[in-house]
Amino acid sequence: AGGPGAMAQPRGLLTKEPAPQSVPASDLPMKVYEMSLNTGPDSSSGLATAGFRTTKYLPSEWHLNNSELYHEAFASCQQAKHGRAEAKELAEYAAAAAQRAQQDSTGALGQRLQDIHFWKAELQKEIEDLDAETSLLAAQKLRLERALDATEVPYAIATDNLQCRERRQAPDLVSDEVERELLKEVELIKNIQELLKRTLMQVGNQMRLNRGHKEVCEMDWSDKVETYNTDDKCGRYSNQSTNIQFHPSSVKFEESASTPETWAKFSQDNIYSAEQEKLASINLRALIDNILHDVSEDMRVQCAAVNEAFAKHCEELDDAKQKLEHHLKKILKEIGDQEANIAALKQALKDKEAPMKVAQTRLYDRSFRPNIELCRDEAQFRLISEVEELTESLGSLKKKLLESEQSLRNLEDTRMNLEKEIAVKTNSIFIDRQKCMAHRTRYPVVLKLAGYQ
């Protein structure tokens, strides 16, 4: 009996011969294939039954077998029913567990997206900050370059001033205050140029470090963007998605995979390093501000000192020239007076010639007086005395004339020296005022020296 219809009749037979419920189906007796000959009163005998006894069961065996089959069918039904209940419960539990696991996974992916978004935002902010800081540092670098270029003009002016002042004539070719200030200015500008060049190298290195850390953060940010998109796509998968399939080999942990701690520390270290470089860049920009302010102020102060020294020296030259010109005017007047004096002395000498001739002629003529008449009378003594007085007077006049002529020569020499010195002072004034001070009007303004222009 294999179907439900066949099961209906045996259920009625069970009331006549119930099968023992304590006997499991596995304890049913085995089939007996070799039976002994029946010898009871119910047994049949005779040749007609010969050969059929070996394959037949007893009625009790037949009823027992049926009972066992009924019992087995009933037990199978009960077991199947119990199994179906367990299967339904297991299926419901598995479905609930799968749904709960999927919700937990989705929630974990959502939390992971928040973590990734947090670090992605932090990295993006750091990238933007580094980019802005590098731009500000580039502007400072441009200021440094402008300031360095602006020092060329003051350096050329100072060296040109020194070269021009080398063409001063003696005795004005002195190592004066102006020259000392100019040498200080040249040395100051050279030191400033070296400082600006070193600072430019430092800025270049810092900008390379900024860009390097920015690239590291950008790589990290790019990886997180890709990971965010991947996890966002994974979070949107559902049981109704059409693009899902089996990937048995994916259920494993990669040996090179990071842990949440190392993952977070990686980005934290990148941000920390970037922050350190950003801080170093900010400090460098502040240092550049101070350097440019100091060097422009130092150059302005030194330029003012040089200009003041020039102005003071030009005043001294003007004063010296005016005094020399004043003395030259007096010398020229004295030369004129001396020349008139010499002319008067020469005229006085010439005027003494006639009286001398008269006196000597008288003495000469009286020397021819005859005999006793050749007397040393008063007239003779007076004439001799007159000649002596005239001779002495002529000697004094000649001596004074020589002295006056020597004095005139001295005055002429002094005049030449004065004129030469005035020419030297004029040349010095021309060099200092027309060449040097006029050239210094091209000195750059402070804003240009500070790199703003």
Predicted confidence (pLDDT) at residue 17 exceeds the cutoff of 80: no
Mean pLDDT score across all residues of the chain: 86
Domain ranges in the chain are 106-237+260-313
Q: What is the CATH number of domain 106-237+260-313?
A: 1.20.1270
pLDDT of 53: 53
Q: Per-residue pLDDT tens for 210-248?
A: 999 999 999 999 999 999 999 999 888 888 888 888 888
Q: Which of 153, 200, 132 is closest to 453 using CA atoms?
A: 153
pLDDT of 162: 94
The average pLDDT across 347-364 equals 92
Q: Which of 417, 426, 419, 170 is closest to 314 using CA atoms?
A: 426
pTM of the complete model: 0.69
Predicted confidence (pLDDT) at residue 197 exceeds the cutoff of 50: yes
Cα 377 from Cα 296, distance rounded (Å): 104
Kindly indicate the confidence band of residue 51, based on its pLDDT and cuts at 50, 70 and 90: low
Q: Per-residue pLDDT tens for 326-342?
A: 999 999 999 999 999 99
pLDDT of 32: 44
Kindly indicate the confidence band of residue 37, based on its pLDDT and cuts at 50, 70 and 90: very low
Q: Per-residue pLDDT tens for 282-311?
A: 999 999 999 999 999 999 999 999 999 999
The average pLDDT across 405-416 equals 94
